[in-house]
Amino acid sequence: MLRKAVFAAIMTSILLIGAISFANVSNPNTMIQLTDSNIVSLDPFWPYSPPSNNIDFQIYESLVQYDASSTLKFLPMLSTNVPSVAEGTIKDNGKTYIFHIRKNVHFHNGDILTPEDVKYSLERLVIFDRNGGPSWMVTRPLTGVDSLADLAVKYAGVKKWNDMLSKDGNLNPEYKGAILKAFNVLDKSIEIKGNDVIIHMPKPYPSIVSILAHGICGSYILDKKWAAENGAWSGSANTWWKYHNPVREKDPLFSITNGTGPFVLVKWDRGIEIDLHRFDGYWRTPARLENVIVKVVKEYTTRKLMIARGDADIATIPQQYISQVVNIPGVKVVEKLPILGEDCGFMTYTINTKGNPYVGSGNLDGNGIPSNFFNDINVRKAFSYMFPYKTYIKDVWNGNAIQPNGPIPKGIFGYDPTIPTYHFDLKKATEYFRKAFNGELWNKGFKMSIVYITGSVQTQQVANMLSAYARKINPKFKIEVKSEMWASYVRDRLEWKLPYFMTGWFADYPDADDFVYPFLYSTGYYGLTLGKGYQELAKKVFDPLINEAEDTTNVQQRLKLYKELSVKAYDEAAIMWLFQPLGNHVQRTWVKGWYYNPMLRGMENFYALSK
């Protein structure tokens, strides 16, 4: 009897504690996340933006998905298989991949997923090809070229895309054949056979499964019928050119969605919040959460207060403030999470000085900088030695970062710890500044601006340090620190107006190719933004090695080539590799099911979460 009484008392206590805990959970069926950045578009093929990718991840799905926290293992998703040689779905020495498309999957509007939707989605991504977007990741494996537009230009025998268009923006009839010929290259690369989608590539591309995995920009599957009905490309070979490189807010899918994922879009108040609701027709078991609300809260102190009070469940907290939240009751902080990426300082080799407020006079006269300022390797080396990498990491990141040694971050295939790095050395910086422009720069001085993204404390500090040390080296060296909002920053970067800008690259797929191509290739994501001077250098020094590394499946040969690329990037002082951050995650302790996958940086798997 005593044992029974004690047992009953214990059970009563457990139930009481559980009831109290449940009572303290704020909004048990709703997950509220706080972010510090705006969503740029709801078209899943547009963003290279963590906040936008985070929303796409909940609404849209892909052929395969990462196996929880693994970056190397995959599970089926909209495909019922992960292609492999063993099962006979990787063929032709790695040039053919076969995906069995899942049946009876509903889009949010009730349409049923078909293999045609998969083919359409991959083709739309390739023709979409917006400036600075993710299309290249699929275009290169499928067609062997960087852009379908470039292929059409080649077939047309013209110099650039606009040469094929009339003054009113229509295609000149004589170039219709080139448009169709280019599209045919793409169309032949994706075959539908029964319920299978078969991808044919001109050469082996070992990273293709990673590229098509859930969470990767552009890997999402759309409803072809719905997209066309809402004004997107219809799938016609004759009209694809009309949908190439769209204007963001004129994109028909800019603010509407229709995926197969576990959550449906309810509301998007731009710059304020986005609301999602559980999709009860989901092909897997419906999510445990009924609602997901992502709020844009720019002020860190407000985010801190909301997570402390329990008004939010997950919050973005900058690394420099993480010590202020680690001891808040009911808040869980996970630190030193590996991040597969790095932030860099980019020097524009050919600056557009026309109407540019960031170059002073635009001349080498002490009151500005000329267009070819950073095309001088001595200037690039001087800047590379002028930055206090270790001090910056210690003071700004509280030690939660490491200094990269090249384009391939630690943790990615191809990383080599023996690659040399630049270090803080004002004597060497002075030496190279004295050599620049045959001594003329040292005697006359210069004036320019370094622009950072508004709200980015880390990059602001980079700019401040470079400004201070430049003035210390020579009082005639004047660097002003200014900021721009993200949209303006991207525009000016693409127009070659930012002499020096800071941003980064984070893994789309866990392979060196995903870094050396966007960082170093002449027509890569950043190569296109650094001007003609950089592109001429890259075509001679970097492009041949990147192409060779892509063409071989020999692991040791690839490693050798990536090491050579990294050394050449050091020799040329091509880019300033500033820091590889370590991340954190901040949530209320009542959040259950969270896990970390470094390939899904900036995305929460709300399907796995509950409270």
pLDDT digits (tens, 9 = 90+) for 399-458: 999 999 999 999 898 999 999 999 999 999 999 999 999 999 999 999 999 999 998 888
Residues 325 and 353 in one domain: no
Same domain membership, residue 297 and residue 193: no
Domain shared by 212 and 301, yes or no: no
pLDDT category at 561 given cuts 50, 70, 90 is very high
Residues 289 and 380 in one domain: no
- Say which DSSP state 171 is in: B
Q: What is the mean pLDDT of residues 539-561?
A: 92
Q: Please list, in sequence order, all residues whose beta carbon lies within 8 angstroms of the beta carbon of residue 298, skipping any fewer than 6 positions away.
A: 36, 455
Please write down the HEC assignment for all residues of 338-404: ECCEEEEEEECCCCCCCCCCCCECCCCCCCECCCCHHHCHHHHHHHHHCCCHHHHHHHHCCCCEECC
pLDDT at 5 over 90: no
Do 88 and 228 belong to one domain? yes
| Residue 174 within any structural domain of the chain | yes
Q: Per-residue pLDDT tens for 225-272?
A: 999 999 999 999 999 999 999 999 999 999 999 999 999 999 999 999
- Is 15 among the domain residues? no
Confidence of residue 19 (pLDDT cuts 50, 70, 90): very low
pTM: 0.80
Residues 112 and 221 in one domain: yes
Q: What single-letter amino acid sits at 59?
A: I
CA distances to 314, 318, 331, 575, 597 from 588, rounded to whole Å, are 7, 17, 4, 39, 19
Query: In residues, how long is the chain?
Result: 611
Q: What percent of the chain has pLDDT over 70?
A: 96
Range of the domain at 156: 50-246
Q: Which residues contact 476 (CB under 8 A, 6 or more apart)?
A: 366, 444, 445, 446
φ, ψ at 601 (rounded to 5°): -55, 130
Answer with the one of 199, 223, 246 that is the final residue of a domain. 246
358 and 466 in one domain? yes
The three state secondary structure string of 105-117 is CECCCCCECCHHH
Q: Say whether both 407 and 269 belong to one domain.
A: no
Domain presence at residue 4: no
Examine the domain organization and report whether 359 and 326 are in the same domain: no
Residue 253 in domain: no
Residue 459 maps to a domain: yes
- One domain, residues 332 and 231: no
Q: Please tell me whether residues 109 and 153 are part of one structural domain.
A: yes
pLDDT tens digits for range 515-543: 999 999 999 989 999 999 999 999 999 99
Cα separation values, 10 from 19, 20, 236, Å: 14, 15, 69
Residue after which a domain boundary falls, among 246, 277, 310: 246
What residue has token string 């207060």? 305
Instruction: Provide the domain count of the chain.
Output: 3
Task: Find the CATH number of the domain harbouring 135.
Answer: 3.90.76.10
- Looking at residue 353, its amino acid is T
| Boundary of a domain, candidates 211, 246, 281 | 246
Nearest to 96 by CA among 187, 208, 182: 208
116 within some domain: yes
Q: Does residue 274 belong to any structural domain of this protein?
A: yes
Q: 170 and 286 in one domain?
A: no
Per residue in 86-119, pLDDT (tens digit) is 999 999 999 999 999 999 999 999 999 999 999 9
Kindly report, residue by residue over 122-142, the tens digit of the pLDDT: 999 999 999 878 898 999 999
Query: 573 near 534, Cβ under 8 Å?
Result: no
159: helix, strand or coil: coil
CATH code of the domain containing 544 = 3.10.105.10
Q: What is the CATH number of the domain that holds 299?
A: 3.40.190.10
Amino acid in the structure at residue 20: I
